Amino acid sequence: MENVVDVKGLTRRYGDFCAVDGLDLVVTQGECLAVLGPNGAGKTTTIEILEGYRYRDAGDVHVLGMDPATADRRWRARLGIVLQSASDLGDLTVRESIQHFARFYSHPRGTSEVLDITGLADKSDARNSSLSGGQRRRLDVALGIVGRPELLFLDEPTTGFDPEARQVFWQLIHRLKSEGTTIVLTTHYLEEADALADRVVVIARGRKVADTTPALLGRRTSDDVRVSWWEGNERHDELTRTPTALIASLAQRLGGEIPHLEVSRPTLEQAYLELLDGGGRT
Amino acid sequence: MNLLSLYVDRSRLEIRALLRDKRSITFSMFLPIFLLLIFGSVFGHQEIGQSGVKFSQYFVAGMLASGLLYSAFQQLAIMIPEERSNGTLKRLVGSPMPKSVYFVGKFACSLFIYVFQAIFLLGIGHLAFGITMPRSVNLWFVFVWVSFLGLVVSTLLGVAFSTLAKDGRAASALATPVVLFFQFTSGVYLIYTQLPRWMQTIAALFPLKWMAQAMRGVFLPAAFAANEAGGSYEFTKAAIVLGIWTVVGALLCAFTFRWLPKDAD
């Protein structure tokens, strides 16, 4: 089957700065891909080239079988876009906004269905300008999915969310995934990639430094385990490959219970930082 | 999705949003009406020379012409940069909306503001200051085409001007002085023929002078035409100048309009 997104050698420069540097990217049907990377890594530039907003200096780009740079309205109708930040439509209500955007598509979802999926039914008659950050993002998603897109782009959808709003938002994305929507998501939160994505692409300085599953991304680090404890009124830390032996010897030395014992595997976060470190070296 | 129904839907949405925006209501809808009340109360009964025409009658014609600038040029020159910076345009151009829908919505919104202003200017002018209505059906017809053509020019120039500012605040600082400059030099607040020659010459290159003069032709007595710069209200010349500015405005829009902020493509 043809890939939903197929990118080869994508390059974009801003003056002397190379924001995207020969990037290859593939997204298959029904997949949720997280594009992960620090600020300035080239995530938004990449996504906005795929959405047809920005031009590119080089590379082959196919999204839903077409080149976004020359695509038409019929192509746009198959796409859902949730931009990084938007504060438009403030004087309209949630319902008015959804109804208005529905009219641009030939087979839109019903307004009540969209309100239900995005959990905005209670807010349907509220002015958009009165919505909280999380509700506002859900409105952006509502407008992104009202046309039943085959492919949905989400650009840093949960930046600035509190943990509860993030959980609610993730459930929404899970629901869209289960309906078969192909999703491309950029984020700089690892736990978001972990919670939502089937596959993770890590970008640093415009280059791909990893293309793997969230689970494998975590396992890429060394086998060292961190053991920490209190001894003589200060905290001790040790990295070891044999934690059990270390704890046994500590127990012996400290005479039984080890104060404030903690044993931790390197987190996804550490794996990620290690990757970025590697990607930064030129 | 039929294009006409999209035009209607977008126009209704724009007008609905306008009526919920206090700033637009104050600055675009009510401003000319406030100005008429103030200028009419202070200078309204003064006669212009020995013409028998009261300043309030002269001023209403000028305010109707200014209304064409307020409702379209000023409104759009400020609103569009704001919509470019807050993501409205980016969202629309990323959707399958036919692009003309946006511009038709903006024009409809300007038309709505202008009709509102015209009704209140003439109504309040008549009741408070004894403004007289056009003397013939012909003159009402002139009023309609001057209004329509003036609104088209004003819309196109507002859309073109919107490219200059990066957001609504910057746009306000750019567009408001332009409107004031042309009001002072085109015979709205001051009598056109009493202005220095160079000022008249500059103003005569731009649309507002011709819109105001044609509006005077509609609302002032035929005999007053002798007091105009050309000794006549020059309806034909006004139509030609507005026609030329329509073409210029359309070309400017076609070559300069941006959906995305600068450096965002």
Complete DSSP assignment for B4-16:
HHHHHHHHHHHHH
B135-171 per-position pLDDT tens digit:
899 999 999 999 999 999 999 999 999 999 888 888 9
Task: Assign 3-state DSSP to chain A and report helix, strand, coil percentages, each to 5.
Answer: 35, 30, 35
Give the count of beta carbons closer than 10 Å to the beta carbon of residue A29. 12
Residue A135 makes CB contacts below 8 A (sequence gap 6+) with A120, A123
Contacts of A14 in chain B (CB under 8 A): 263
**Is residue A197 pLDDT above 90, yes or no?**
yes
Give the count of beta carbons closer than 10 Å to the beta carbon of residue A121. 13
In angstroms, the CA A202 to CA A211 distance is 6
A132-156 per-position pLDDT tens digit:
888 898 899 999 999 999 999 999 8
**Is residue A30 pLDDT above 80, yes or no?**
yes
Domain A5-219, CATH homologous superfamily name and number: P-loop containing nucleotide triphosphate hydrolases (3.40.50.300)
Distances (CA, A) of A158 to A93, A194, B13, B44, B187: 22, 14, 29, 59, 55
Q: Do B1 and A143 touch (CB under 8 A)?
A: no
Average pLDDT, chain B: 91
- Of the candidates A53, A73, A86, the beta carbon closest to that of B265 is on A53
- Residues of chain A contacting B, Cβ within 8 Å: 14, 51-55, 73-74, 76-77, 79, 81, 83, 85-92, 96, 100-101, 103-106, 127, 143, 147
A7-16 per-position pLDDT tens digit:
999 999 998 8
Give the count of beta carbons closer than 10 Å to the beta carbon of residue B4. 8
B103-130 per-position pLDDT tens digit:
999 999 999 999 999 999 999 999 999 8
Q: Do A103 and B88 touch (CB under 8 A)?
A: no
Contacts of B1 in chain A (CB under 8 A): 103-106
- The candidate with the shortest Cα–Cα distance to A229, out of A257, A260, A255, is A260
The nearest CA of chain A is from the CA of B248 a distance in Å of 28
pLDDT on residue A167:
87
The 3-state DSSP class for residue A62 equals strand
Question: How do beta strands A32-36 and A199-204 pair?
Answer: parallel
Of A46-50, A130-134, A196-200, A276-280, the poorest mean pLDDT is in: A276-280
- B17 touching chain A per CB within 8 A: yes
Residue B54 makes CB contacts below 8 A (sequence gap 6+) with B44, B45, B46, B47, B48, B129, B130
ipTM exceeding 0.90? Answer: no
pLDDT band at B82 (very low <50, low <70, confident <90, very high): very high
The nearest CA of chain A is from the CA of B97 a distance in Å of 5
What would the mean pLDDT of A199-211 be, rounded to a whole number? 89
pLDDT on residue A1:
59
In angstroms, the CA B246 to CA A16 distance is 41
Average pLDDT, chain A: 88
**Is residue A281 pLDDT above 60, yes or no?**
no
Q: Do B96 and A74 touch (CB under 8 A)?
A: yes
